[in-house]
Amino acid sequence: MICGDRTGVLGTQGVVAVCRNKTVQMEKLKARLRGEFQALESEKRHLHEYKQEMDLLLQEKMAHVEELRLIHTDINVVCICICECVYMENTIKQSENDLSKRLESTRRLHEEYKPLKEHVDTLRLTLGLQRLPDLSHEEERLSLDYFEKQKTEWQTEPQEPPIPESLAAVATVAQHLQAVRKQDSRQPAMFRQQPPPMK
Question: What pLDDT was estimated at residue 39?
Answer: 93
123-180 pLDDT, tens per residue?
988 988 888 887 666 555 566 666 667 666 666 555 555 555 655 565 566 566 666 6
Query: Domain span at residue 149?
Result: 8-155
Whether residue 26 is contained in a domain is answered as: yes
193 found inside a domain: no
What's residue 199's pLDDT? Answer: 46
Provide the 10 A C-beta neighbour count for residue 35.
Answer: 10
Does residue 101 fall inside a structural domain? yes
With 60 as the cut, is the pLDDT of residue 23 above it?
yes
CB atoms within 10 A of CB 171: 20
Does residue 110 lie in a domain region?
yes
Contact 82, 171 (CB under 8 A): yes
What are the counts of helices (DSSP H) followed by strands (DSSP E) for the chain? 4, 0
For the whole model, what pTM was predicted? 0.45
Q: What average pLDDT does the segment 108-135 reach?
A: 86
How many structural domains is the chain composed of?
1
> Is 148 part of any domain?
yes
Q: What is the pLDDT of residue 56?
A: 95
- pLDDT given for residue 191 in this prediction: 44
**Per-residue pLDDT, 53:** 95
Q: Could you tell me if residue 192 is inside a domain?
A: no
Decide if 175 is inside a domain.
no
- pLDDT value at residue 111: 84
Contact status, residue 163 vs residue 81, Cβ threshold 8 Å: no
Strands of the chain (E only): list them.
Answer: none
What pLDDT, on the 0 to 100 scale, is given for residue 183? 63
Say if CB 142 and CB 136 are below 8 A apart.
yes
Q: pLDDT-derived band of residue 117, with 50, 70 and 90 as boundaries?
A: confident
At 43-96, the pLDDT tens digits run 999 999 999 999 999 999 999 999 999 999 988 888 888 888 889 999 999 998
Could you tell me the CA-to-CA distances from 72 to 6, 86, 122, 153, 170 in Å, in that order? 96, 21, 74, 40, 11
The pLDDT, as a whole number, for residue 63 is: 94
pLDDT at 133: 81
Residue type, 14: G
Q: Is residue 56 part of a domain?
A: yes
